[in-house]
Each structure stands twice: as C-alpha cells, then as structure tokens.
Structure 1
C-alpha cells in the first residue's frame, strides 16, 4: 500500500496500484473493500459476477498474477502492485480470447451468468497445466458452478481452446474423452 488518507468522516482510504487488464490504475479503496466490490462497484467492470459472496460458486473468478482466484474472498488492499485480468481484459480489441471463442463455438452457456468466471477459471487452469484428462479438467473446474447445467459444453469448449496449448507443448497435456 502506498499511503492511507482520511476522509471527512474519519474513515481511512488506502492508495493501491493495479495493473488491471493491461493498464496501470492508481486507486483509492476502503480497507474492507473486496476485490470483487472494487471491480463491480468502483470500476464498473461488471463482467465479474457476484454469486454467492462466499467463494463457493466461482462466478467472481478473475486472474491475479496469472492465477485464478475468487475475488469475493480477498481484500483489494492485499493486492497492491498486482496484475489483475478480468473477463473484460481477455479479448484483444475485437478479437476474442481463444477460450471466449470456444465458449461461443460450443454454446457453453445458457443464461450466461457463470460464463465470465468459467472462462477466467478455464484460462487459469490451462496455464497451470495440471488437467491431463477429461476427469482432471472436471475436477479442476469443480469450483465453478453452472445452474443451467451446461457442463458438457463447457468441457468441450475448454478442450477445444486447450488443443493449441497441448500442440505447442508437444501433446504433453492431452485431455482425452
């Protein structure tokens, strides 16, 4: 944390800096503000969803320093200097991220509420390189719930988007049916 300031009401705000979706952002946040609330309420990045607010549904999943986290379970002030990627930061201009494109291609959403968290979680999971089989993939994604039951399409989308990664790695991460 860079510094703390006191408002007229005597409440301290903290200055933090984030690399947010590729852009350096200097922010003032209250010490009790969750990362999720900072994103949605202060920065108006509403792609990250508030589901259960207890870390059980995965709707709030974002990438923090390249790793997937539930943004509802962490305070924003804990991440001064961190690199944060939300669903809004995955695309490159008009070009969708390969995982986003795979979700569209495989119709891996119905209502779409869980989709941003599913996609961020899938991007982080592929980067981790631990999903060797379809069962591994399901286990690694088990923290992201879909009330609509689009799981078969979600798995298909992740496998499709992961295929180029496996090819670059010489097939080492083959996910098989």
Structure 2
C-alpha cells in the first residue's frame, strides 16, 4: 500500500484484508462457500450473490464464484443478468457406431460448458468436441445420424444439476 496513507490506516487495511482472507479460506476449506445456497436453502439477493461471488473470485476461487452465481440463478427472477455472455452450456447427443464391430454402440449424451460469443458458435464448438471425442475413442457417428444439440443455455449449470458436465472453457 502506498505511503500516502498514514501508518494507522495502512494497519487497518492490512487487518481487514487478513480478516477477509481468513473468511474466504475458512469458508472454502469447510465447503460452506459453495454449499451455502444448496445445503442450507439460503436465498441471496442479486446484489448479495454478486458481492459474495466477487469476494471468492478475488481470492482465486473462480469455480466457487461461478457456482454461487449459477445456484443463485436457479431461483432468480432475472437470471440472464448474471451470466457472462461468453459462457454457454450445451446439451449434445449422438448415436455412436463402432466401425470395427460394424454395429451401433450407444446413444450417448454430453453436457459441455464452453466459451463462445453466441449460441451458434457454442453449438459448432460442441459438435467439434463430440467428433474429436468419438474419434479419440475409435468411434464414429452412426451412418445417416447427426449430432443432436438439444439445448443451449447461457452460463453454467448450478451445483444442483443431476448430471455431470465437461468444462471446456479456456483458462482466463
């Protein structure tokens, strides 16, 4: 901190920062930071959720911060106000085919979270990711079958989601 502040003020700021850091570390280490909304049915106002998320993000807990916003949005009247416009959740399905066995393998589905500027780009990235995943595992799409994008939503799923999802976002 700059020396333009009196020593007494610098010490006060240092105490406040240490207290905030201790709060964040304790809440994240005990799991309370990410489970407050879901496990304790705690309802936060929009401003409370944004502030709580910003505090966690400022100490490097980006996933916890995102989870706080996502969980808040499940009960929020205007959830679209909370989402970064470049994060999308895409539900994708495909009928897979094993060319070696010459038979249908399974009807698989994925939920991908990725960065994109608009839904069409998110859809294209999701389809490319599914094709790459199938190729890496020696599978292809069933002949005559396309990748089915069933839903594209802004933001990421909340922790109450009943399914696993694959985080494909680029590191910040």
For the superposition of Structure 1 and Structure 2, which TM-score range results when normalised by the shorter chain?
A: under 0.3
- Indicate the structure with greater helix content: 2
Scaled by the length of structure 2, what TM-score is found? 0.27
Larger radius of gyration: 2
| Greater relative contact order, per chain length (Cα 8 Å cut-off, separation 6+) | 2
Scaled by the length of structure 1, what TM-score is found? 0.27
